[in-house]
Amino acid sequence: VQLQASGGGLVQAGGSLRLSCTASGTSASIDNMEWYRQAPGKQRDLVATVTSGGSTNYANSVKGRFTISRDNAKKTVYLQMNNLRPEDTAVYYCSADFIDYTKPEVWRSWGQGTRVTVSN
Q: E strand or H helix at 112, and its extent?
A: none
Nearest C-alpha neighbor of 8 from the set 111, 90, 96, 77: 90
Residue 29 pLDDT more than 90?
yes
- pLDDT higher than 90, residue 1: no
Residue 95 pLDDT > 90: yes
% pLDDT > 70, the chain: 100
Helix then strand then coil, % of the chain, to nearest 5: 0, 60, 40
The confidence score (pLDDT) of residue 15 equals 98
Res 18 pLDDT > 90:
yes
Residue-wise pLDDT for 49-89, tens only, equals: 999 999 999 999 999 999 999 999 999 999 999 999 999 99
CA–CA dist 31, 53 (Å, integer): 9
Q: What is the pLDDT of residue 105?
A: 93
